[in-house]
Amino acid sequence: MSAPDQAPAPAPEAGLDALNATDSNGTEALNATAKFVATPEGTALAYGSLVLMALLPIFFGALRSVTCSKSKNSADMPETITSRDAARFPIIASCTLFGLYLFFKVFSQEYINLLLSVYFFVLGVLALSHTMSPLMCRIFPASFPNKQYQLLFTQGSGESKEEIVNYEFDTKNLVCLMISSVVGVWYLLKKHWIANNLFGLAFALNGVELLHLNNVSTGCILLGGLFVYDVFWVFGTNVMVTVAKSFEAPIKLVFPQDLLERGLEASNFAMLGLGDIVIPGIFIALLLRFDVSLKKNSRTYFYSSFLAYIFGLGLTIFVMHTFKHAQPALLYLVPACVGFPVIVALIKGELTEMFRYEESSPEEAGTKEDLSESDKKDQ
């Protein structure tokens, strides 16, 4: 989350950006001679809206993550993060962030952002289409002519034949793709903050839904590593802030603090990086799947971690405005999202069971199903 600026389009953030502080008036302007002073109402509306927008993809993405691993469609199958992946992720993220910093220092910012806009246009259209599909399927009437399609790419032949891509879709999915393309063109041409948020919400929801941690220990490794990453790049250097101001892509949620004064043409934005949503979100989604595995018809760990996220994000905003200094969001979100469920598990006597919970990757799950089927045939 960041203070407002005076640019005509929303200033971007780094993918795992922190909640950036503001000056003594709670604002930051790129044009020092024309600083915008947000009203208390505008500030409350902006930050309240950002918190609400952050909660939506976490909540619905977690719910969708419970069933997406059962899908036979390769596009809907989750990507499992192992402990090795989790340990390497902060290093890869740091190299990527510093690489972008060097790129913006050496090359023209205009051309880099042009390439990034085209790249994120394609990704955003696909992500928004995937996000809309379940909703659109409920809206379309039963009489709607819905034809089925399949996009299949294989490698080899005979017994060595291997599927590379197996994507099944229908007419409703094509309609979603067309609507998403309209939003994409709108974003590409205008860079409007609403179009930016539509893509940002789609990215966040897809991330929470399709990125799965294989166990709680892996989640602790990932969140712990990114805790250090966030603190270092915000407090230790100006790299993240520089990239945030230069990077023009829908990798953040924005909301104008001058909406009440200027309406939809407002241009002074508070911002929240998608990394501060997706990283805690995939951990919260894991705890929901753990709740489901307990088969107790309760969602204790999911709700405790979800409330912890609200507490951590609110605490970040409070500290930012109290001390008027940049605050890395994961500094507060990680201890809250990990600590609250651990305390609950200790109280309920399920700490060992929680850390023993293990999810297998889709490939491993498929292998187990094949073995069980062969065992039944043998019997």
Distance CA 355, CA 218 (A): 10
| C-alpha dihedral sign at 295, 298, 304, 307 | positive
pLDDT for position 285: 95
Angle, helices 171-190/193-210, rounded to nearest 10 degrees? 130
71: in domain = yes
User: Could you give the number of structural domains in the chain?
Assistant: 1
Phi, psi of 215 (to 5 degrees): -160, 175
22: in domain = no
pLDDT for position 326: 66
256: in domain = yes
Which domain, by its residues, includes 347? 40-108+195-378
26: in domain = no
Give the contacts of 359 (CB within 8 A, at least 6 positions apart): 80, 212, 213, 214, 215, 286, 289
Q: What is the DSSP string of 218-275?
A: HHHHHHHHHHHHHHIIIII-SHHHHHHHH--SS-EEEEETTHHHHGGG---EEEEETH
CB-based contact 287:28 (threshold 8 Å): no
pLDDT for position 31: 35
Tens digit of each residue's pLDDT (9 = 90 or more) over 91-145: 999 999 999 889 888 887 788 888 888 889 999 999 999 888 888 777 877 777 8
| C-alpha dihedral sign at 167, 168, 173, 174 | positive
Tens digit of each residue's pLDDT (9 = 90 or more) over 276-320: 999 999 999 999 999 999 888 889 999 999 999 999 999 998 998
308: in domain = yes
225: in domain = yes
Distance CA 136, CA 65 (A): 19
pLDDT for position 91: 94
> Catalytic residues, which ones?
230, 276
pLDDT for position 169: 78
pLDDT for position 274: 92
Structure tokens at 269: 């934005």
Task: Determine the number of helices (DSSP H) and then strands (DSSP E) in the chain.
Answer: 13, 6
266: in domain = yes
Q: Show pLDDT as tens, one digit a residue, over the chain (379 residues).
A: 544 443 333 333 333 333 333 333 333 333 333 456 778 888 899 999 999 999 999 999 999 998 876 665 555 678 889 999 999 999 999 999 999 889 888 887 788 888 888 889 999 999 999 888 888 777 877 777 878 888 888 888 777 788 777 777 788 888 889 999 999 999 999 889 999 999 999 999 999 999 999 999 999 999 999 999 988 988 888 888 788 777 788 888 999 988 888 888 888 888 888 999 999 999 999 999 999 998 888 899 999 999 999 999 999 989 987 887 767 889 999 999 999 999 999 999 999 999 999 986 555 555 444 444 444 455 4
140: in domain = no
pLDDT for position 38: 75
